[in-house]
Structure 1
Amino acid sequence: MANKYTSEMIKLIRNIQNIDYIPPEAIPEIDLYMDQITTFMDEYLNSSKRFADDKILTKTMINNYTKNDLLPPPEKKKYSKEHMILLIFIYYFKNFLSINDVKGIINPISKNFFQQKDGINLDDIYREVFETQLENIDSQVRDMIRKLNKSNETFSEVEDEEERKILTNFSFICMLSFDIWVKKTIIENIIDHKMDTKPSRKKEPSDI
C-alpha cells in the first residue's frame, strides 16, 4: 500500500513537467483587444485551474491592474505583446504574493523595459526567464521526490497503516510548505530592500 501511494505521489510530482505554460513564440505579435487576451490566457493556462469555474484572467482584473498601476494603459483599447508578458508575470506572482508585492516587482520592470527600443526589452526578459525555468524543472522534481522519500521515513513507530499515511502525507506537505514560506520570505525581503522605506500595509484592491 505504501509503495503504491509513493508511486502515485511521484507520478503527481512528475506531472508538473507537463504543466501548461505560454512559450515566448506563442505570444501574439499583434495588438489584441481585452476579450482576445482573456481567451488567449484561458486557452493556454486552462489546465492550471484547480476548479473548472476558476478564472485565469477577467476584464475586471485587467482594468484593476491598470487602475492600480500594475499594467500600463492600453493604446486605443488594444494591448501589445508587452502588455501580455506583464499579465503573464502578474498571473503567476499573484498566486502567492500580495498585489502590493506584485506591484513592487512589476513596476521596476515596466518602468525600465516596457516599450524599450534600445537594449533589452520585455520580450528578451520573458525568453530568458522562460528558458531558465525550463532548465530548472527537472531539479525541482528531483527535490520534491527527495522530500517525499524523506517524509516517508517519518513516524516509523506508528503501526496503523492508515494513520501513518495521514502523518507522512502531513509531513510531506509541511516540508513543501516550509520551502514555500522560505522562498516567499526571501522574495518579500528583496522587495522591501529595493524600496526606499518599509512599505506600509495597504488595503488590497478587490477583484484582482
Structure 2
Amino acid sequence: MTINTQDMIGSILESISRIDYIKPEDIPNINLYMDQVTTFMEEQLASSKRYPEDKILTKTMINNYAKNNLLPSPEKKRYSREHLLLLIFIYYFKNILSINDIQTLLGPITEKYFRSDSDMDLTAVYNEVFSMEKDQVELLKEDLVKRYHTAEATFESAPEEDRRFLKLFSFICLLSFDVYTKKMLIEQLVDELRDENNEEFTKSKKSKK
C-alpha cells in the first residue's frame, strides 16, 4: 500500500488554512422561509461537506430541532438571523454530541440571549466564540505537524512494504485518541452543567412554594 503521507499532511494543512465560519454580517437581516434557510446554510457551509451529495441541513432536521427544543419556533413560518446562529451552533455540535447534550448547552443560551434587548445578545455570543477561530487554526496546524512527526517515527522495523500503511495507522490512532479524550471532557463538562441547571430548577421550585 503506497500512501504519500508528506503530500497528505500538506493537503490537510492547506485545507485547515481554508477553514472559515459564517460571519454574522453574512447572515441576511431579513427573516427567511424554510427553503431559504436550507439554501443559505448549504451555500455557506458547502466546503465542510465530505461528499458532494451530503446535506448540510434539511427541512426534517430543522423540524426535529424544534421538536427537541433546540430551536425556538419560527414566527409566521419565517426564521430570524438568531435562528440561523443557533442552527450554525447545532450544525457543529451535532457531529460530536447527543441531542440531549446540545439541549443542555444551548438551552441557557437561548433562554438568556435569544431576542435579547441588551448588548449581550446571541450575535455578541456568536462573535465572541468565533473570534478565537484564527488562533485555534494555527495551534491546530502546529499540533497536527507534531503528531505527524511522532507517527512517522513509529514502525521503523516493520517490513518495508507495510511501513507506510502502519505509520499512517499510527497517525490516525493519535488523532482518534485526541478526539476521544476531548469528547470525554466535553461530555463531562456538559454533565456538570446539566447537574447545575437541575439544582437551580429544584431551588426555584422550592422557593415558589
The TM-score, its normalising length taken from structure 2, stands at 0.88
2: CA distance, partners of 1:17 / 1:78: 35
Q: Which amino acid aligns with 1:19?
A: I
Q: Which residue of 1 aligns with 2:176?
A: 177
Does the CA-based 8 Å contact 2:3-2:164 persist in structure 1? no
Q: Hey, what's the Cα distance between the residues in 1 that align with 2:53 and 2:158?
A: 40
CA RMSD, 1 decimal: 1.9
Alignment of 1:96-135 (within 5 A): 96-135=96-135
1:189 counterpart = 2:200: no
- Partner residue, 1:71: 71
Deviation at 1:8, TM superposition (A): 2.9
C-alpha displacement of 1:139:
0.9
In structure 2, the residue matched to 1:13 is 13
Could you tell me which amino acid in structure 1 is paired with residue 106 of structure 2? I
Which residue in 2 is equivalent to 1:49? 49
Instruction: Kindly provide the amino acid, as one letter, of the partner of residue 194 in structure 1.
Output: L
Q: 1:4 to 1:174 in 2, by over 3 A?
A: closer
CA contact (8 A) 1:85 1:122 kept: yes
Match of 2:84 in 1: 84
Deviations 1:18-63 (A, max 9, x none): 1343122111111111110100000011121111211100011101
Stretches (4+) displaced over 2 A: 2-5
* Superposition deviation, residue 124 in structure 1: 0.5
For structure 1, the 5+ residue unaligned runs are: 200-208
Q: Give 3-state SS (helix, strand or coil) of 1:22's partner.
A: coil
Once residues 71 and 144 of structure 1 are traced to their aligned partners in structure 2, the CA distance between those partners, rounded to angstroms, is 35
In 1, distance between residues paired with 2:32 and 2:8? 42
1:120-159 correspondence runs (5 A): 120-159=120-159
Q: Which amino acid aligns with 2:184?
A: T
AA in 2 matched with 1:26? D
In the alignment, the residues of structure 2 paired with residue 12 and residue 55 of structure 1 have an alpha-carbon distance, to the nearest angstrom, of: 22
Q: Paired residue for 2:26?
A: 26
Q: State the distance in 2 between where 1:145 and 1:88 align.
A: 29
Change over 3 Å in CA distance of 1:37–1:3 after alignment to 2: closer
Cα deviations by residue, 1:66-108 (Å, 9 ceiling, x for unpaired): 0110000111111111000000000000011111111111111
- Scaled by the length of structure 1, the TM-score of the pair is 0.89
Name the larger-Rg structure. Answer: 2
